[in-house]
Structure 1
Amino acid sequence: MLEVGFETLLLLLAAGFVAGFMDAVAGGGGLITVPVLLLAGANPLTALATNKIQGLFGTATAALTYARGGHVNLREQGGAALVAFVAAIAGALLVSVLPTGWIRMILPLLLIGIAVFFATKKGLGDTDRHRRMTPFLFAAIMVPLCGAYDGLLGPGAGSFYMLAFVSMAGYGILKATAHTKLLNFASNAGALLAFAFVATPWWATGLAMGAAQIAGAAVGARMAQKQGARLIKPLLVVTSVSLAMKLLWDMI
């Protein structure tokens, strides 16, 4: 049984579609869905947990769409996805133990830094560049850091995965986006598993929003494959800055 009324559900479905589109292209869908869930009456922990439910469907759809387009081999990412899954569980379980206040304070600066990087860095396109880390080191260092953050706090996790793939793995923008989705799906799943024990997610509402996420993610991933960096870069910059501004506003 749904936890919200029909009119509120329509609003949440619309938010899920737009968030699915954004996540498939550049990440930042939680910037839309979490505030709408709070507006619908969910407490903060329930909103975060429900957001993970619906986000699973969007990231899974985007990952499959990019794989069908030949931009990522999901089987080759299996090991890294498992690392992201475990790291996100650890991050979510440490929410009540670690002092997250300082992370929230520096997070807006990090997101603005990401926006500046993608907006001003010359040569960033869909062509691969110099790799600074081997795949093994990337999976051992960058993936657990991003996955743990996704479980611990969450906002901007897709942007951090993107930055890691572009700056350390040397991937082009489209390839980095494609590879981000499976890892984002895995860390969402890990965080949700942990939240299922420490929170009260709106399961029915989250599943309904997940259906809208599937539609939005399919549209977004197809557009991203057609437009490449021309679409992904500006949207990534806009979502990173918007998320930073929202976090700063929440601190006031």
Structure 2
Amino acid sequence: MPDIAGDLLVLLMIAALCAGFIDSIAGGGGLITVPSLVLAGADPVTALATNKVQGIFGPLSAATAYARRGLVDLRGQWPMALASFAASIGGALCVTLLPVDTLRLGLPVLLIGIALYFAFKPGLDDLDRARRMSPLLFGATLVPFVGFYDGLLGPGAGSFYMLGFILLAGQGVLKATAHSKLLNAASNLGGLLTFAIIAEPWWIVGLAMGASQIVGAQLGAWLAAGRGARLIKPLLVVVTTAMALRLMWDWL
């Protein structure tokens, strides 16, 4: 790892704090941290690997904050978290085997679709609804599917988890946000283990940014728990649209 000046490290930690705040509410914190790491001199692969290091702390911190408010039972989520973890390792290992660049072409359309759903779906609030899928089936299908995607590609994984909890598990927006965090942390960890083998993360930088992520995530989860869907929905629309635009910009 190259020497990072102290002032640059502070700026990266501030970026991580902002990312942790946004990610704890709507996902998409990588929109801030990955470009920040590239601007700091990391090549794209190193930036992604380092992002996985710090990206574990924010969702995990948010998950504990939501759990303290009784919005999620983390102990009951461990089977799903393990499925997400294992699937993300599989996804990361398949990066060289699957047409990743082709798959990326459909991501902006999918992300904009999610933004439109949250923007215009009537009655989308914090109230739970009828389940469309049992917890066992949900944990055996959608969770590993999104975990695999997170290891393979990554952008929007937290939003996909959240959407699954709303559409299939019948949860309200706030509870779905809370339940997505531990799974997102698990899939980030699985991706990190693979990246640690095939790349060289900036471990010290990643851990320092992770400490800032914890603070940002605690603040974001506290605010989201108090305001619920009124805050989460508009921020999710903005973040998913920004992810879609960023992906399209990268291809120009």
TM-score (norm 2): 0.98
- Confirm whether residue 177 of structure 1 aligns to residue 177 of structure 2: yes
Q: Report the equivalent of 1:199.
A: 199
Secondary structure of the 1:75 match is: helix
Q: Distance in 2 between matches of 1:144 and 1:3?
A: 38
Does the aligned pair in 2 maintain the 1:3–1:202 contact within 8 Å? no
Q: Distance in 1 between matches of 2:8 and 2:157?
A: 27
Letter in 2 for 1:223: L
Q: Distance in 2 between matches of 1:3 and 1:237?
A: 38
Letter in 2 for 1:185: A
Q: Could you list the per-position Cα deviations for residues 229-248 of structure 1 after superposition, in whole angstroms to 9, with x for gaps in the alignment?
A: 00000000000000000000
What pairs with 1:1-252 in structure 2 (closer than 5 Å)? 3-252=3-252
Secondary structure of the 2:56 match is: helix
Secondary structure of the 1:76 match is: helix
User: Shift in Å at residue 161 of structure 1?
Assistant: 0.6
- Could you tell which deviates more after superposition, 106-115 or 42-51? 42-51
Q: Which runs of 5+ in 2 are unaligned?
A: none
Secondary structure of the 2:122 match is: coil
Letter in 1 for 2:87: A
User: Shift in Å at residue 3 of structure 1?
Assistant: 4.0
Q: Could you list the per-position Cα deviations for residues 67-86 of structure 1 after superposition, in whole angstroms to 9, with x for gaps in the alignment?
A: 01100000111100000000
Letter in 2 for 1:28: G
Length, aligned pairs only: 252
Q: Distance in 2 between matches of 1:87 and 1:221?
A: 26
Relative to structure 1, the CA distance from residue 125 to residue 3 in structure 2 (aligned partners, 3 Å threshold; closer, same or farther) is: farther
Relative to structure 1, the CA distance from residue 129 to residue 3 in structure 2 (aligned partners, 3 Å threshold; closer, same or farther) is: farther
Does the aligned pair in 2 maintain the 1:53–1:192 contact within 8 Å? yes
Q: Which runs of 5+ in 1 are unaligned?
A: none
Q: Distance in 2 between matches of 1:251 and 1:39?
A: 18
Moved over 4 A (4+): none
Q: Distance in 2 between matches of 1:16 and 1:96?
A: 29
User: Shift in Å at residue 2 of structure 1?
Assistant: 7.1
Percent of counterpart pairs with the same letter?
Answer: 61
User: Shift in Å at residue 130 of structure 1?
Assistant: 2.0
Q: Distance in 2 between matches of 1:33 and 1:41?
A: 13
